[in-house]
Structure 1
Amino acid sequence: MSKQELAILFSGGTDSLAVYALAAIGQHPQLPRPVKIHLLHMLNGMSRFHDFPRRRFRVAQEILATKLSEPEGLPQAEMVELDMGRLFQGLWLDRYEELMPRYNGKNLVCVACKVAMHTKAILYCIEHLVPVLATGYARRQSYYPEQTPVFMEKVAALSEHFGIRTIFPVFEDFDDEQITRHVLEDLGLPSTGGGERKCLFCQTLTTATPSEIGAYLDDMVPRAKEYIEHKLQGRVREAAAVFPPGR
């Protein structure tokens, strides 16, 4: 089978770094070495230390290049920054006073952020003819509402609607932090934190259940679908109206 291109949601953290490394060297059954890797780094407008992920990517590239003896070397890779702040605001921040009561007052800010990320990633993959999108979601982090089966099922269905296959190749594998560290250290890569931008909402408490997460997604995924369809057809006015500002 001919090699395809691959997109990865890339935060610069250990899990997404490991997904990039495994794809680059072709050492995971769900990640055959692609012809090109697009590392999609999302900007939500609420983060700082902006150069951390790019530094980690560049260091990883240099180290991985020493691991391959094949003439073709590493697949071509580029890190692309995509601004999804307006979507993030529309999905939660602009209307959280209205939205929270619908979902038992639960904090779903990170779910909204990830929906915005996937929406932008789907658009990117369609526009750049990239058939597969991978994430570094891991079972051990299922206390994050956006790394739960209900979230993954619904965003995968959204991307499938547009012909993009979203995969979660290390969700089961990385059920323990030590496994992720082993993979990275075995390749000579950084195995501890420090590669991500630091988000204002990182580590905020949520007690949202799968039922509440699912209810929010059932409301918002159709709107994300509508937004993508308008954007693909160049209907800028209609796309903007999907997530109007809260004022």
Structure 2
Amino acid sequence: MKSNDVILLFSGGIDCSLAACLLIEAKHKVHLIHYTNGTGIPNYLYRVRYNELKAVLGEDNITLSELNIPGLFRKLSLANIEEDFNKYHNNMICLGCRMSMHVETIIYALKNNIHMVADGSIHYQSHFPEQSSIALTLFRKLYEQYEIDYMNPVLEIKEKNNVKYKLLDYGISIQSMEDTCLFNNTFSESSDENIEKYINERITYCKTYIDRKLNFAYNNSI
């Protein structure tokens, strides 16, 4: 019988924070995972948000792990950057970054026997390549190959203010507590065709990476 545990990709931002609230209200135990790819400016405010979520929602319902993913991020986003710019004519770095998070999440899920994953992908940011409909569909297909359900609890919310109001209803503060990403807002919108091609070009490597990393250990809960 599958457990009711769910992994949530967690930046400390308002969208994933609301997703955590909704999942816990739906009787899930939530395992937050925060990722560091080596290119951001850390402020560790996501730990403040984690403590806030624990205090409001119950510390037995939520955990936090921190994963360093610079190697996979470099491989997917940066290793072929000149070729990628020539091919796609825009910045796909954030798409590769999100893909690396999903791949590392699959490994974490398999090692911990968790069969559900969620994130804070949301309608009002669907112009971001990594939150586009085609990207979410392809990520979902990748998860399905490992018998993992991939959910987007806040996807249908169309306005940022609605996220803030819902957080206030839960008693959660509405400040974003994300680290500073140096690549944030450096992208331009991409076509579905290019997004699909970018992801599919990397799938074989990602599957090989998953198989290899399943032999490694994680010990990142705080």
TM-score (norm 2): 0.91
Residues 224 and 3 of structure 1, relative CA distance in 2, 3 Å threshold? closer
Larger radius of gyration: 1
Residues 1:180 and 2:163 are matched in the alignment: yes
Deviation at 1:145, TM superposition (A): 0.7
Quote the residue 1:148 is aligned against: 132
CA distance in 2, matches of 1:76, 1:176: 28
How does 1:1-247 map onto structure 2 within 5 Å?
4-24=4-24, 26=25, 32-34=26-28, 36-65=29-58, 75-103=60-88, 105-172=89-156, 174-193=157-176, 195-232=177-214, 234=215
C-alpha contact (below 8 Å) 2:33/2:65 kept by paired residues = yes
2:22·2:153 contact (CA, 8 Å) conserved in 1? no
Alignment check: 8 A CA contact 1:10 1:16 kept = yes
Give distance in 2, aligned partners of 1:220 and 1:114. Answer: 12
- The percentage of aligned residue pairs carrying the same residue is 28
Residue 243 of structure 1 corresponds to none
Structure 2 vs 1, CA of residues 3 and 230 (structure 1 numbering), >3 Å: closer, same or farther?
A: closer
Q: Distance in 1 between matches of 2:45 and 2:140?
A: 28
How far apart are 1:63 and its partner, in Å? Answer: 2.6
Separation in structure 1 between the aligned mates of residue 84 and residue 27 of structure 2, nearest angstrom: 42
Amino acid at match of 1:58: N
Contact 1:37/1:75 (8 A) holds in 2: no
CA deviation string 1:142-199 (max 9, x = no partner) = 1211000110011111111011111112111x21112111110111111132x10111
Residue ranges of structure 2 left out of the alignment (5+ in a row):
217-222
Contact 2:129/2:190, CA 8 A, preserved across alignment = yes
Count of aligned residue pairs for this structure pair? 216
Q: CA deviation at 1:3?
A: 5.2
The Cα RMSD (Å) is 1.7
Mapped contact 1:132–1:167 kept (Cα < 8 A): yes
* Contact kept in structure 2, 1:84 and 1:116, CA below 8 Å: yes
Higher RCO, 1 or 2 (CA under 8 Å, sep at least 6)? 2
Deviations 1:78-115 (A, max 9, x none): 11001111101001212201222222x22100000000
**Matched position secondary structure for 1:33:** coil
Rounded to whole Å, the distance in 2 between the matches of 1:88 and 1:45 is 9
Deviation at 1:214, TM superposition (A): 0.9
Distance of 2:142 and 2:2 partners within structure 1: 26
In 2, the alpha carbon distance for the partners of 1:75 and 1:137 equals 25
SS of alignment partner, residue 79 of structure 2: helix
Deviation of the 1:2 alpha carbon:
7.7
Deviations 1:41-98 (A, max 9, x none): 1111111233110111102221334xxxxxxxx6432110011111010012122012
Q: After superposing the two structures, state which structure 1 stretch, 74-83 or 123-132, moved more.
A: 74-83
